[in-house]
């Protein structure tokens, strides 16, 4: 389980105040050997804090969020919010799926900050 403070700390190191980075999700498929391989990539278009569930929901969409701007907004949240669990939300066959984030990374070449989820 990844929480908001994990994301903030990783983003701080990964994007280094670079305004060109966008936020993306990469789905990873686990092989029989236990290795993870890329299974798809999508843009993170918006986010929502849910104080009742104590979660940060990241929603997929066409236009990706700017990583630096998102980092700056999230970095101002309360200490309590920093412990909110991160979920990536998308729709499959009309059903909302809230997927757990399993890791973070970046593509310096493509200027993408990546959140990894396991493909279902």
Contact 58, 115 (CB under 8 A): yes
Q: How many CB atoms lie within 10 A of CB 71?
A: 21
Residue 18: both structure tokens together: 């670079």
11 sits in which H/E element: helix 4-15
Which of the residues in the chain have pLDDT under 50?
none
Task: Give the per-residue SS3 of 22-89.
Answer: EEEEEEEEECCCCCEEEEEEEEEEEEEEECCCCEEEEEEECCCCEHHHHHHHHCCCCCCHHHCEEEEE
Going from N- to C-terminal start, the domains of the chain cover 4-118
6-37 pLDDT per residue, tens: 999 999 999 999 999 999 999 999 999 989 99
């Amino acid at each position: 389980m990844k929480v908001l403070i994990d994301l903030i700390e990783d983003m701080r190191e990964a994007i280094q105040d670079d305004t060109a980075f966008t936020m993306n999700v990469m789905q990873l498929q686990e092989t029989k050997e236990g290795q993870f391989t890329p299974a798809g990539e999508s843009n993170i278009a918006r986010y929502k804090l849910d104080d009742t569930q104590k979660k940060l929901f990241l929603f997929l969409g066409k236009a990706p969020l700017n990583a630096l701007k998102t980092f700056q907004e999230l970095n101002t949240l309360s200490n309590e919010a920093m412990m909110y669990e991160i979920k990536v939300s998308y729709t499959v066959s009309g059903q909302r799926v809230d997927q757990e984030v399993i890791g973070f990374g970046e593509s310096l070449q493509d200027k993408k900050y990546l959140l990894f989820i396991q493909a279902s």
